[in-house]
Structure 1
């Protein structure tokens, strides 16, 4: 079956998590994606976690299924220029590159803070983005410092934003609405503002700055948070009166259901010291798994909180092939997330082979 993006050529010269996540989606939907790597390989080849018994990065494997790997220094200059000029899309990591002037298609630059502004040449991290966008202000105990999430979420969000912008520009060129070459520019930092939009809008309209209220306390909603059960943990959000009534019935707390002050989430938050001990005591009589299915039947937005081991066995993920296999040399397979959306008439490739460094260099030197 023909893939949706088959026929497109994408060349990644940046080798960052954002450029590789962006190009991963192109590759999974059929585009030819070429990693143009230095002799030492893209930096992501050195990122933990590493695959047991090997020196290979599991993070790199996740981001680079179904791609070709070419060592830049192994290519003759004319071949290098032909490769860049023939690409529909060239992805870069924000650093200056002489290859940008060779591109005749779309040149997509994904940097931490975008071009222009005081932070133009600043080095960034995921934690910096979360700190600067204000998200951390509401996370953590009242007395302690804000809590910083671990991982590469900011760069993944930046890569997804760049995919949308880059694909839109490529389609614009294909439709004749924009002459190539052209530039797309993505700021990872600005892409993460989607995580703090509610807080920002609230402040600009009320003048009230959000502050940490403590664990499982997020104004103006209650209950909202993660709570222990007899077995496991659940994540819970109750907003509307109907959800509150159903939640009280589920937890045998009917005496709270019709209290006038508790019909709004803010009213419940203001009397949290009375409500929370009762909720916690009741939750400890249920397993997280049983409570999850009962809550969904009652239209209550409640979810179990799986361990990483349990994550691979979540029935919804299994049904939708949310996890697939990255295949390394020697046919070793590791579990990785698959593409997060489906074009139903032209489905993506689920999983695939991860090229070794420079594996396809000779193919392009002929």
Structure 2
């Protein structure tokens, strides 16, 4: 391996690591607020990337219909939960957010595809389609058992992952999809070149991290999420609605997943089940960060990306094993340094 190859591998590793950083941050966010180890995070990546690819190809994506299905399911669950205290205003509000909104998104998507609105509109539409799936999913699968143990929530998350993978096969089919690059620019950097797509990944990842930092540090909603993450009971006592915090966390996770999918679908072919492996690598970074620390998670994601790139060159058959082995020393170290405590009932 010469210096040029090493630089290319480092560039590739940092590019992938930036995506893993976004997924790791989403996993930490969801776990901190809801105690859910969000196994289906990778599905949002696959959904986002394949939705954007289909929009770019001039087709209405299956997720535009899927969001309507999720909205109907969330509406029915909400109505059953409120069956003893239904009121016209509350029912209208729920119908607006869970029935009218997804139907409006489907209508706008159909119009945009028919008129060939362009890449910028497709980017916005992709995020608009994927974002509501997060809170709908939370309302259907996790809100009814929000006070259960972490183990029960994890088992539920695994079941949701399997269901979303199956839905991906139904709505997208078994064929892979790939989108044209958002930018075809090429920037020479000494012996290597950086594509506009890679530079876009660095820029968007940095902007999202800064936006999340400002959101949690400067906004009332962000501070409420931080309070929920620190002490759920205390947050409830001071009037913070835990259900709303959960919906916001899942919405942010869905948006981050959609953006990640948009960024990587021009670089690799995505299939309906591709997101799971990508999400697992973000999970490795989140575990190294203890599912608590955002900066450590971001730094660990870059390390994961670089290790994966080097392993793909030196031992391609073992690269996945090498990447996932990174969490073993971290888990062993934490088992010795952190005392075990049973979860309270």
TM tier, smaller: under 0.3
TM-score, with structure 1 as normaliser = 0.23
Query: 1 or 2 for the larger relative contact order (CA 8 Å, sep ≥6)?
Result: 2
Looking at CA atoms only, which structure, 1 or 2, has the larger radius of gyration?
1
More strand, by proportion: 1
